[in-house]
Structure 1
Amino acid sequence: MKLSNNTNNTNNTPNYWAIVPAAGIGSRMDNSCPKQYLHLQGKPILQHTLERLNLPSIKGIVVSVAKDDPYWETLTLPMSVIRVNGGKERYHSVLNGLQALRKQAQPHDWVLVHDAARPCVQQTDIEKLMTQLAEHPVGGLLALPVRDTMKRAINADNHLVEVSETVNREGLWHALTPQMFRLDILFKALEGVLSRGELVTDEAQAIEKLGLHPVLIEGHPDNIKITYSQDLKLAELYLASRNPKL
């Protein structure tokens, strides 16, 4: 798929929008409450996350939540958001968000997709992503170069996990979010994944299936994704370090 750098239409400059897929149940947290609604510093994780996206440069935020979500109304947000129903998989939720945006956004507008469980992302990193990719025809994502030695694992007969090989870490990066792409390109990529019955774990992978190459923008390592219960304590430390009075 070939793209031109001249993606702006003749009437306006692209706007920036955000989509937060938040329909998951967080099964690995061992908690009856979905992880995006667990509390950090007295408020839900999802509320922290949405507040990080509350930037003047972002025109609107779409949140994809479960249809019968009983927790959504507990949020107290400083901005208005568009709520849509989420889907079974992450990309279903993002597609639903894109459908809502297509009613008011332009095909060449930028869409930032951010994990609901990444409340520690630094706003300077979000702004860095937008600034460095402003003229790019496709987009990219925040990421971190792999620093540790990487091992590929196999399951042994004694139920232990053993090393099958050491993987060369040269050129390997940890994918973070936000991931930012042109609305029309991202919609086409995810629709293609859906039509082929494939599964992707992030938006960049769907873009790659179009033969395109997302740009990696280095972010801060404190942009952690809360997956396990111990991640809550680490997130508390990161947030407290930015707000020492809390």
Structure 2
Amino acid sequence: MSEATPVWVVLPAAGAGRRMRAAEPKQYLRLIDTKTVMQCTLERLLGLGLERLIVAVAPGDTRAASVLELLEPEQKERVEILATGGNERADTVLNTLQALDGRAADEDLVLVHDLARPCLCRSDLDAVVTTAVASRFGAILGIPVSDTLKRCVPLARRDTELPITETVPRALLWRAMTPQVIRYAALRESLEQAERKWITDEASALEQSGKEVLMVAGRSDNIKITQPEDLALAAFLYRQQLENGLAFASEQRSS
């Protein structure tokens, strides 16, 4: 991790996670033992040596503060909760960047990571941050698409059993993941100028403004918890990574 370039970690946590079909937002679901997804992700990022973690919650959300109390005292000092949640992910990130006005410098890096990705490994973090530091605007993690892709005709009142219209070439297609690590001023300006309802990740805001973002190949086990069946898989991978030593700061980043 470059100590010359400050890194601010923004964790959007204002969504409802409707695709999980759960009674509560997915960040508060139990992942392993008594620990929630949020606690596991925070502990993973802190264990990887990251500082300046900002959890961006919806106004009125008090549960994040309760999760924070479960962390070690030294860890709690490195996490801040801000009620900067908006209607969409892009609104939440922009509100958080605006709240950092006067604290973050233009060339600082903003590392945006999904709270529902608790399985980030040291090698992926090192790779994407190193690339972002050396780039003009930033870099993101992703993996090449390996499945055959089909385009289907959208039908009213039905989202399954759709007619296929074509097979989409996949040679140049990648699945975008997080972290997405982008210069503070570039990300803020791009989000302020973008049509935010069409922005599904931070890189797409920069793409709209003509700024180049680099893709860094990541690990396939950096999964995002989206569907109910993802929870058990993430728990398995999380434990496995702990056992294999993939979840801790290297000697160079240890304090």
What one-letter code is carried by the residue in structure 1 that aligns with 2:172?
G
Q: Which of the residues 72, 80, 83 maps onto 1:82?
A: 80
State the identity as a percent.
39
Distance in 2 (alpha carbons) for counterparts of 1:192 and 1:158:
34
1:190, CA displacement in angstroms? Answer: 0.5
Q: Cα RMSD between the aligned structures?
A: 2.1
Task: Provide runs of 4+ in structure 1 moved above 6 Å.
Answer: none
TM-score for both structures, normalised by structure 2 = 0.85
The one-letter code sitting in structure 2 at the alignment partner of 1:83 is I
User: Within 5 A, what are the aligned runs for 1:31-180?
Assistant: 31-41=22-32, 42-54=34-46, 58-75=50-67, 76-77=70-71, 78-80=75-77, 81-85=79-83, 86-155=85-154, 159=158, 160-180=161-181
> Structure 2: which amino acid aligns with 1:111?
V
- Contact 2:5 2:109 (8 Å CA) reproduced: yes
**Residue 193 of structure 2: aligned partner:** 192
What's the CA shift for 1:55? 5.7
Q: For the residues of structure 2 that align with 1:71 and 1:241, how far apart are their CA atoms?
A: 28
Q: Which runs of 5+ in 1 are unaligned?
A: 1-11
Instruction: State how far apart, in whole Å, the 1-side matches of 2:96 and 2:157 are.
Output: 45
Report the CA distance between 1:51 and its aligned residue. 2.0
Cα displacement (A) at 1:240: 2.1
**Which letter maps to 2:81?**
R
| Rounded Cα–Cα distance in structure 2 between residues aligned with 1:31 and 1:198 | 24
> Relative to structure 1, is the Cα distance of residues 151 and 65 closer, same or farther in structure 2, using a 3 angstrom cutoff?
same
Deviation for aligned residue 1:239: 1.2
Partner residue of 2:20? 29
SS at match of 2:92: helix
Q: 1:161/1:240 Cα in 2 relative to 1: closer, same or farther (>3 Å)?
A: same
Give, in whole Å, the separation in 2 of the partners of 1:242 and 1:58. 18
**Superposed CA offset, 1:117-153 (max 9, x none):** 1111113211211112322111110000011111112
Deviation at 1:101, TM superposition (A): 2.2
* Amino acid corresponding to residue 187 of structure 2 in structure 1: L
Per the TM alignment, residue 73 of structure 1 is displaced from its structure 2 partner at its CA by 2.7
Q: Distance in 1 between matches of 2:156 and 2:196?
A: 33
Distance 1:227 1:158 in 2: 22
- Please report how far the alpha carbon of residue 204 of structure 1 lies from its aligned counterpart in structure 2 after TM superposition: 0.3
Contact map agreement 1:22 1:65 (CA 8 A) in 2 = yes
| Worse-matched range after superposition: 70-79 or 132-141 | 70-79
Q: Across the two proteins, how many residue pairs are aligned to each other?
A: 232
Q: Does the CA-based 8 Å contact 1:52-1:123 persist in structure 2?
A: no
* Structure 2 portions without partners, runs of 5+: 245-255
Q: 1:25 to 1:56 in 2, by over 3 A?
A: closer
Q: Say if 1:63 and 1:97, in contact at 8 Å, map to a contact too.
A: no
TM-score by length of 1: 0.88
The worse-fitting range, judged by mean Cα deviation, of 79-88 and 154-163 is 154-163
Q: 1:178 to 1:170 in 2, by over 3 A?
A: same
Amino acid at match of 1:32: A
For the Cα contact (< 8 Å) 2:117–2:225, is it kept in 1?
A: yes
State the distance in 2 between where 1:69 and 1:158 align.
Answer: 34
* Mapped contact 2:13–2:56 kept (Cα < 8 A): yes
Corresponding residue of 2:8: 17
